Amino acid sequence: MEVEAHLQEVETSDSARLLILDFGSQYTQLIARRVREAGVYSEIHPHDLSAEAITDFQASGMILSGGPESVGREGSPAVSDAVINSGAPILGICYGMQALATKLGGEVSGSDHREFGYAEVSLTGSDGLLGGLLDGGDQLKVWMSHGDRVEALPEGFESIASSRNAPLAGMADVKRQIYGVQFHPEVTHTEKGQAIIERFVHKICSCPSYWTPRNIIAQHIEQVQQDVGMERVLLGLSGGVDSSVVAALLHAAIGDQLTCVFVDNGLLRLNEGDQVMDTFSRSFGIKVIRANAGNLFLRELKGKTDPEVKRKIIGKAFIDVFLKEAKKDKQIKWLAQGTIYPDVIESAGNPNGTAHVIKSHHNVGGLPDYLNLPVIEPLRDLFKDEVRKIGKKLGLSSALIERHPFPGPGLGVRILGEVKKDYIHTLQLADHIFIEELIENNLYHKVSQAFAVFLPVKSVGVVGDSRRYEYVIALRAVETIDFMTAKAYQFSHQFLEKVSSRIINEIPQVSRVTYDISSKPPATIEWE
């Protein structure tokens, strides 16, 4: 890996950063991703962030998210004086625009005609945010989601956009660099949405494109070297994208000071254990200890059916095995984890503390106290697509980097009910056939995540002239940008029929195959 090349010609200024204040929108994480895609670092904080914290952040610009509240309701979230007095450019989106208008002396009221979904807005100004965006045209297709609307602009503002149900769908005070749009530029449904974000961060906030894979790598290598020094680090390596990128990054930073423990819990995909060892131990020269603990995990899971209980059991068993291996090397001073931002959000471990626990992630929380080691989590604030980009820069193969996500608890949460050894083997075979067909039909990279699920119910089938009373396999495939929302992939009937036929004919323990068409939300991507 040409790590030295990544450390050269790195831009010296990393001061450009945007502060995103969260007013409760389901799209807030998308705002952060869009800003980062524009090459600018961003952080999300609650809307009521203290004045001191806002000042200390030294934001190059601020974005105020949408939210479910009504600004006219008593106790609704408001824009603080510190935001206005910061002097940084401000962009309010949906509720953020309404809150800005209210704060600065405008009027907001409920509308008889709400806008949810596609809408068209006319661009009415010559400002730097929307002016001239359509190369002479004035109609922009956008995504709306609001009930209230701005009725009167604050002093010093001009109208820059209007729609049928929101005559003031955009506003600008160019002198103070304060802007607002009633629609959501962060969602993919908004035409020119990324261009709007880029105009704000580059043109209005004057931020350079510093947040690049090369610079992320350089920053993290420098930070790891500074924190660790000459001490040894232990990493739990699963073979998934996240832990693999952490392994490559740490190896680039500290070389032989890194030891990886690969806990083979027996809940991996078909032949995955051997593949992990081949990739990292033999190909990359990284020290990897393989702990074969499949029987231990099965014993601990015996009789357990609740998905959250299973996740916690698997997490604890992982820690127990990991701790046993860690004790063998008295020189270990640090623990590394492949935690990424969506893990933190879904486990309600984000600093804001506003998320509900959707499902536990065994690599989020608990490990520092249990192991009594300081923790390195270089990917904690990165989205999955960012992780993949830096992994590619570090020299990991496309086959590994582009692999679909795989949960930490493995097939243990893709087997509904109790986990049994024969269930695992059946699911491994079915999952392998599904993925094999996706690759064969050039569909694997069109799908964000695909896998099979084992259902512990039996169904009658006919194979040849014989009755078969065996288990059901469900197939799941979704497309998504951020894994916070997802929709089922629309395969052709012919493809699904082929996969179903192969699974039933090649695996005697299966008599029926179904396809899951649920979206997230309300469903999760995984079944448990």
Report whether pLDDT(172) > 80: yes
Report whether pLDDT(355) > 70: no
Structure tokens at 106: 């405008």
Question: b or e along 111-124 (b: 16 or more beta carbons within 10 Å of the residue's beta carbon)?
Answer: eeeebeeebebbbb
SS3 state at 368:
helix
The arithmetic mean of pLDDT across residues 449-469, rounded, is 89
- pLDDT in the model for residue 358: 35
The answer to whether 343 and 359 are in contact (CB under 8 A) is: no
Report whether pLDDT(11) > 70: no
Report whether pLDDT(356) > 60: no
SS3 state at 195:
helix
Report whether pLDDT(292) > 50: yes
CA 362 – CA 420 distance, rounded (Å) = 21
Per the residue annotation, which of 45, 146, 184, 251 is the catalytic one?
184
Per the residue annotation, which of 6, 45, 115, 186 is the catalytic one?
186
Does 207 participate in catalysis according to the annotation?
no
Per the model's pLDDT, the better-predicted residue between 189 and 362 turns out to be 189
Does 120 participate in catalysis according to the annotation?
no
- If you average pLDDT over every residue of the chain, what do you get? 87
What DSSP element (H or E) covers 294?
helix 294-301
Going along the chain from its start, the domains and CATH numbers come out as: 16-204 (3.40.50.880), 221-400 (3.40.50.620), 420-515 (3.30.300.10)
CA 428 – CA 420 distance, rounded (Å) = 12
Structure tokens at 369: 């106290």
Structure tokens at 82: 């510190």
| Residues facing 269 on adjacent strands | none
Write down the number of H helices and E strands in the chain.
17, 18
- pLDDT in the model for residue 146: 62
CA 415 – CA 337 distance, rounded (Å) = 25
CA 185 – CA 157 distance, rounded (Å) = 20
Does 184 participate in catalysis according to the annotation?
yes
Q: Which of 457, 416, 422, 419 is closest to 313 using CA atoms? A: 419
> Roughly what angle, to the nearest 10 degrees, separates helices 493-506 and 421-440?
140
Q: Which of 391, 360, 381, 378 is closest to 235 using CA atoms? A: 378
Per the residue annotation, which of 6, 45, 47, 94 is the catalytic one?
94
- The percent of residues above 90 in pLDDT, for the chain, comes to 59
The arithmetic mean of pLDDT across residues 153-181, rounded, is 93
Q: Residue holding tokens 């965006």? A: 133
